[in-house]
Amino acid sequence: MAGSPLVGAEDRASSKEFVLELPEGLEAARSVALVLSNVRLPRKAAVVLRARVAESGGAEVPLGSIGVLAESKDAEGTAVHAALRIDVTRALKRWRQDHPGHSAMKIRLVPYAGREPLANLEWAIESAGLTLENR
């Protein structure tokens, strides 16, 4: 089940937010991936996208991350990544145990360079969704 970026989501260090429905069978799944579709990043930017559950009250629970390499420091334009997958199995199942009544969650994706969030990164993402694997 995929979610589209929330309109008017708070701009925290160029973050993007999604509300995702929790799929049936989550607890029994062997692995769970957060799949980011049609991610557009500057070709010259090396970025780590960190995924977090954004809880009410401002708390955030880390789910996982993925690094995307730059083509070169002089590259121009935008690179489009059809699908980026973040393994969120352990963290999501742990979060689910602590929140058994929830049928959806808000995900925040924050781009980082090293230890610092990128405050002014121009990037886009079409959708995000959770996929289960039971093999």
- In this model, does residue 9 exceed pLDDT 70? no
User: What pLDDT score does 108 carry?
Assistant: 96
* Amino acid 56: pLDDT: 82
Q: What is the pLDDT of residue 105?
A: 95
Which conformational region is residue 50 in: left (phi greater than 0), alpha (psi within -120 to 50 degrees), or beta? beta
Locate 56 and state its tokens.
């009410």
Contact 3, 129 (CB under 8 A): yes
Architecture of domain 2-115: Sandwich (2.60)
| 77-112 pLDDT, tens digit each | 999 999 999 999 999 999 999 999 899 999 999 999
- For 13-25, what is the mean pLDDT? 92
